[in-house]
């Protein structure tokens, strides 16, 4: 069965249905707000709430009732929080679609947020924060992100800080939910197999009635504008580690930008997999890394280009020199420049990845809901493949010239040094 999403308006709550022939069904609720809608004082509220809704709901009141209900039928459930969005999902066999809809509906409409478990959950999240702090790659990424986005809502960790988590209160979670868990800021999606659309929609309308009935205040979302400096920024976090963990960032493109497919193809050639310059030159040819690569992030009003890896302590200066040489040269016509052949291969790689992604129901749901939430349109796989095919070598070079500018670079290293063993010029 082909990709044929159906968008239905249920009294103000939009529902995206993607029916296909599989044995499972995945139900997801997406909220179009995340950590960037918080103040410094309540940073981490959205992420805390994402955890805490699973501790009991009106129809699943016990601490383990939500998870036990899904686990008992062999299903899966989880949630996520980002800068821009929050999501809650459940996946079951197709004949248990009623349960999947009920569970997700309960999580976003009738969580109990029990005070008796609040401090325990705070402890869990503080341990999660400590875990990330102990992981050199995560720490490098966090410090780079702070350099890139500065002291803004986008530059703050999604999880919050020790200080904000210590001061967190139940009222902060209720406030966040009251403001942002409203139909104008929500979508519900279902991908998989079910018997009848009408019956499914009636079920969604019933289980999400608490959300549908809500009408919040006018939503004024956080806005970000780049204030870029005139020289690169760097930071060293000195630690006794066996590797040097490197994270590099540049400003990227917002969601829906006309050059986004150009950026995706450039990323494949730079560091997005086994075809890339970074993988072949840094890892394979020199043996300077086990993990090395690049990626992109896109938000409503900004984005980021990310490069990172774990490198030998005694080769860090050489490795960073090579990585930056590749980055500065990839948009040109010299040794590292992208050629027409590179672009043709990258297009086939990207189109293949798109096709495979649409075999994964979680990715299908993620594409559909995010596109509808932030672009008000759902693209078909064919539209995406056609857009990638249209990218020209001239556009690649134009994009690289715009994206990879030394003065916009943010670089962080976590490693066993007193000072960085190189200078960025």
Span 335-367, pLDDT tens digits: 999 999 999 999 999 999 999 999 999 999 999
The pLDDT of residue 227? 87
The pLDDT of residue 229? 80
What is the average pLDDT value for the chain, to the nearest integer?
Answer: 96
Copy the structure tokens of residue 194: 């079910």
User: Same domain, yes or no, for 252 and 187?
Assistant: no
pTM of the model: 0.95
CATH at residue 244: 3.30.830.10
Model pLDDT for residues 201-227, shown as the tens digit of each residue: 999 999 999 999 997 778 899 999 998
pLDDT value at 17 more than 70: yes
The pLDDT of residue 218? 80
Q: Does 385 reside within a domain?
A: yes
How large is the average pLDDT for residues 156-164?
97
The pLDDT of residue 230? 83
Percent pLDDT > 90 in the chain is 96
User: Same domain, yes or no, for 163 and 290?
Assistant: no
User: Same domain, yes or no, for 282 and 387?
Assistant: yes
User: Same domain, yes or no, for 35 and 155?
Assistant: yes
The pLDDT of residue 215? 79
Q: How confident is the model at residue 228 (pLDDT cuts 50, 70, 90)?
A: confident
User: Same domain, yes or no, for 258 and 208?
Assistant: no
User: Same domain, yes or no, for 201 and 239?
Assistant: no
The pLDDT of residue 235? 97
Q: Does 420 reside within a domain?
A: no
User: Same domain, yes or no, for 184 and 328?
Assistant: no
Give Cα separations from 401 to 261, 388, 396 (angstroms): 16, 19, 9
Percent pLDDT > 70 in the chain is 100
pLDDT value at 326 more than 80: yes
Q: How confident is the model at residue 424 (pLDDT cuts 50, 70, 90)?
A: confident
The pLDDT of residue 3? 87
Q: Does 423 reside within a domain?
A: no
Model pLDDT for residues 359-391, shown as the tens digit of each residue: 999 999 999 999 999 999 999 999 999 999 999
Instruction: Give CA–CA dist 367/373, Å, rounded.
Output: 10
Q: How many domains does the chain have?
A: 2
Q: Does 289 reside within a domain?
A: yes
Taking Cα atoms as reference points, which of 56, 100, 133 lies closest to residue 361? 100
Q: DSSP string spanning 336-359? A: TPPPHHHHHHHHHHHHHHHHHHTT
User: Same domain, yes or no, for 265 and 174?
Assistant: no
- Whether residue 307 contacts residue 141, with contact meaning beta carbons closer than 8 Å, is answered with no
pLDDT value at 90 more than 70: yes
User: Same domain, yes or no, for 274 and 405?
Assistant: yes
Q: Does 193 reside within a domain?
A: yes
Q: Does 118 reside within a domain?
A: yes
Model pLDDT for residues 406-418, shown as the tens digit of each residue: 999 999 999 999 9
Q: Does 273 reside within a domain?
A: yes
pLDDT value at 1 more than 60: no
Last residue within a domain, chosen from 212, 245, 280: 212
**Element counts in the chain: helices (H) and strands (E):** 16, 11
Instruction: Give CA–CA dist 256/370, Å, rounded.
Output: 11
The pLDDT of residue 23? 96
User: Same domain, yes or no, for 185 and 255?
Assistant: no
Q: Which residues pair with 77 in a beta bridge?
A: 90
Last residue within a domain, chosen from 179, 212, 245: 212
Helix, strand, or coil (residue 130)? helix
The pLDDT of residue 212? 95
How many other C-beta atoms lie within 10 A of the C-beta of residue 313? 13
User: Same domain, yes or no, for 257 and 320?
Assistant: yes
Q: Per-residue b/e over 18-30, b at no fewer than 16 CB within 10 Å? A: bbbeeebbbbbbb
Instruction: Give CA–CA dist 42/36, Å, rounded.
Output: 11
How many other C-beta atoms lie within 10 A of the C-beta of residue 307? 24
| Structural domain containing residue 406 | 233-415
Q: Does 425 reside within a domain?
A: no
Give Cα separations from 48 to 54, 103, 172, 219 (angstroms): 11, 19, 10, 21
Q: How confident is the model at residue 2 (pLDDT cuts 50, 70, 90)?
A: confident
How large is the average pLDDT for residues 326-334?
97
User: Same domain, yes or no, for 96 and 242?
Assistant: no
């Amino acid at each position: 069965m082909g990709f044929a999403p159906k968008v239905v308006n249920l009294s103000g709550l939009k529902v995206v249905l993607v029916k296909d022939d599989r044995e499972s069904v995945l139900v997801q609720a997406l909220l179009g707000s995340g950590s960037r809608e918080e103040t410094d004082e309540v940073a981490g509220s959205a992420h805390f709430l994402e955890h805490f809704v699973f501790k009991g709901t009106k129809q699943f009141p016990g601490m383990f009732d939500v998870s036990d209900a899904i686990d008992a039928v062999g299903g899966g459930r989880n949630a996520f929080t980002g800068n821009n969005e929050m999501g809650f999902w459940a996946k079951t066999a197709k004949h248990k679609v009623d349960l999947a809809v009920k569970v997700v509906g309960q999580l976003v409409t009738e969580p109990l947020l029990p005070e008796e478990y609040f401090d325990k959950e705070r402890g869990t999240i503080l341990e999660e924060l400590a875990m990330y702090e102990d992981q050199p790659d995560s720490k490098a990424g966090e410090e780079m992100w702070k350099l890139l986005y500065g002291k803004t809502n986008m530059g703050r960790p999604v999880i919050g800080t020790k200080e904000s988590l210590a001061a967190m209160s139940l009222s902060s979670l209720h406030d966040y939910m009251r403001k942002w868990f409203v139909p104008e800021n929500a979508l519900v999606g279902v991908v998989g197999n079910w018997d009848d659309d009408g019956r499914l929609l009636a079920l969604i309308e019933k289980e999400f009635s608490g959300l549908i009935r809500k009408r919040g205040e006018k939503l004024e979302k956080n806005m970000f504008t780049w204030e870029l400096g005139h020289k690169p920024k760097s930071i060293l976090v000195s630690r006794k580690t066996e590797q040097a963990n490197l994270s590099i960032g540049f400003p990227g493109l917002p969601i829906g930008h006309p050059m986004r497919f150009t950026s995706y193809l450039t990323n494949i050639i730079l560091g997005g997999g086994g075809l890339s310059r970074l993988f072949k030159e840094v890892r394979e040819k020199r043996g300077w890394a086990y993990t090395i690569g690049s990626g992109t992030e896109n938000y409503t009003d900004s984005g980021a280009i990310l490069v990172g890896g774990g490198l030998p302590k005694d080769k860090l200066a050489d490795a960073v020199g090579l990585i930056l040489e590749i980055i500065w040269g990839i948009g040109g016509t010299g040794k590292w420049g992208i050629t027409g052949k590179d672009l043709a291969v990258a297009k086939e790689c990207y189109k293949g990845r798109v096709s495979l992604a649409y075999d994964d129901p979680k990715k299908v749901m993620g594409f559909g809901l995010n596109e509808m939430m932030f672009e008000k349109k759902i693209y078909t796989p064919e539209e995406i493949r056609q857009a990638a095919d249209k990218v020209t070598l001239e556009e690649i070079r134009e994009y690289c010239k715009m994206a990879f500018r030394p003065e916009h670079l943010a670089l962080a290293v976590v490693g066993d040094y007193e000072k960085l063993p190189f200078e960025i010029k």
